[in-house]
Structure 1
């Protein structure tokens, strides 16, 4: 068991080193290589619907889903990072990627919201990691735009077939957060649908304070109708390219207010890949350059994490219980305000 967890953790450490340098095998982006467009009228085009929770996911969800009065629309991050994979976009039928979506992203990120609302997770033709790498950005934009086309279409079908005028949480990480930002612009910003927005949780990217016209950054734990975002690094460490973070909205994912630091006692829980919740595991500083600085979390393999400076992959699960409780609080607050 220890060896298996150690290997998982070392893979996490190597992820950013391996994907942030070197060259990728690739091909020219063209209509000929685009995977088949998903049909979101089909349940098979969704990783998660209220009617299709995996057994593992059910452990984190409400015992009676039908009693939940809100919805959560979650968009998973980039999971295709292979340097040998020449595809720009992944078909939703890809078994390896689908397994990662359900058993990693959904299980350790989306699960944080599973008590707040019914969960909707569309499969989409995610863009390959190299879409974010400088040398590939021209064609990478095409891949990211294609991925967003799917997310947008899935959200339209969700509104038409599932929503039934219920309030909504939008959640996403990294590439998923990027698509979440565009969803807010296309459906909520300066639109009547914003009245149905409980909150948008969009960590792992740079979002400017004036990114939207009417959807604003939230700076108190009970605030609704806006968004929160953060990017997590080891205390004292910086990304190589500060453009990605400088000036970004930097929410405090523990206190959810304008406090610039926290004590270890305030941290509610880090959900690790062993399925265990580690409470009072870290403390953070909110920097003035768009970063959350975290101490090395206290958990069995913390020694190995001390070699990692970029905590991007843990933006949600490092604060899993904090996010879980806050999404519940904001959901209740939305109903309290709208039922007066």
Structure 2
């Protein structure tokens, strides 16, 4: 149960070591994926995978009858450099890493959307976590560009072979959000595909309010053709003035508006702990927008005395699991 919170604590406290990876002058990358092969997808609606799961028998997987698709881009899971995977970008032949992706982000995040659409989640050569430390700009960009080429290739394969003109939800977290921002710019802004966009859930990274020329911030719960974004912190977190940028979009995942009024805990339809431990937790946290961030109370659960981080990044989806799920269904219905 505490694994998700322990990971958050470690990352935000800076206790994760920066791997000794190849220099910018020596930038090997693992082989690219072939998205015609099932093994290069973490989730497909035609396979038995973690995106099919739900935290309760009373909450069904609705992909079989869903009228929309969900293209989900997972966050950074690649943090180390085990023998055979000593790259800035992850090798898709790393079975241990693939399993970690499936058992964390696909189970806890991608599954949120299996009532709203058929879930497609590509494996990709994700950049190592170290690119988000104080690395050289060239190294960071080369690693992220490599990862994005895979995400773009996966999306184009999905469009060609799976979509068949269906409405599309884009959803992502953290590093996945960075790639999905680029994907929206490259494939949706000002294109013929734009009318198929139900909404984009761009969670865990700052997104500017004016990021897209024709995709606005969602300000109503059933608005379509728009995007939502938030980054979650404990109520006593005090950001630097530089980070608290008023140009950053924040949508409250309990009210689904940009109002700065606190959305009370009674609106929280249910969050989940890591791997659904204990099932749905109704009224887990309240939520309030302050500046560029979303703030919540410290959630109550057995063992929370050890949960001391002010940064709730890893729980951006988990704290609002049922609210995100029902919102995605509502936007599809409105579409």
Q: How many residues get paired? A: 327
Query: Structure 1 residues 81 and 166, CA, compared in 2 at 3 Å: closer, same or farther?
Result: same
What residue number does 2:283 align with? 280
Shift of 1:19: 5.3
Shift of 1:7: 5.7
| 8 A Cα contact 2:51 2:119, kept in partner | no
More relative contact order in 1 or in 2 (CA 8 Å, sep 6+)? Answer: 2
- Where do residues 217-228 of structure 1 align in structure 2 (5 Å cutoff)? 217-228=217-228
Alignment equivalent of 1:299, drawn from 291, 301, 307: 301
| 8 A Cα contact 1:206 1:244, kept in partner | no
What residue number does 2:314 align with? 313
* Separation in structure 2 between the aligned mates of residue 310 and residue 187 of structure 1, nearest angstrom: 32
SS of equivalent residue, structure 2 residue 106: helix
Shift of 1:52: 1.1
27-36 or 213-222, larger mean C-alpha shift: 27-36
* Separation in structure 2 between the aligned mates of residue 207 and residue 318 of structure 1, nearest angstrom: 20
Normalising by the residue count of structure 1, what TM-score does the alignment of the two structures yield? 0.90
274-283 or 83-92, larger mean C-alpha shift: 83-92
* Separation in structure 1 between the aligned mates of residue 246 and residue 80 of structure 2, nearest angstrom: 28
166-175 or 84-93, larger mean C-alpha shift: 84-93
| 8 A Cα contact 1:231 1:245, kept in partner | no
| 8 A Cα contact 1:29 1:88, kept in partner | no
Which has a greater percent of helix?
A: 1
SS of equivalent residue, structure 1 residue 189: coil
Query: Structure 1 residues 172 and 296, CA, compared in 2 at 3 Å: closer, same or farther?
Result: same
* Separation in structure 2 between the aligned mates of residue 86 and residue 241 of structure 1, nearest angstrom: 37
| 8 A Cα contact 2:12 2:309, kept in partner | no
* Separation in structure 1 between the aligned mates of residue 192 and residue 106 of structure 2, nearest angstrom: 29
SS of equivalent residue, structure 1 residue 202: strand
Shift of 1:156: 0.3
Query: Structure 1 residues 91 and 240, CA, compared in 2 at 3 Å: closer, same or farther?
Result: farther
Structure 1 runs not aligned, ≥5 long: 335-340
Structure 2 runs not aligned, ≥5 long: none
Shift of 1:76: 0.2
- Where do residues 68-87 of structure 1 align in structure 2 (5 Å cutoff)? 68-82=66-80, 86-87=86-87
| 8 A Cα contact 1:205 1:244, kept in partner | no
What residue number does 2:247 align with? 247
Shift of 1:245: 5.6
Query: Structure 1 residues 269 and 133, CA, compared in 2 at 3 Å: closer, same or farther?
Result: same
| 8 A Cα contact 1:250 1:291, kept in partner | yes
Normalising by the residue count of structure 2, what TM-score does the alignment of the two structures yield? 0.91
| 8 A Cα contact 1:233 1:293, kept in partner | yes
Alignment RMSD, CA only? 2.2
Shift of 1:266: 0.9
Shift of 1:242: 4.0
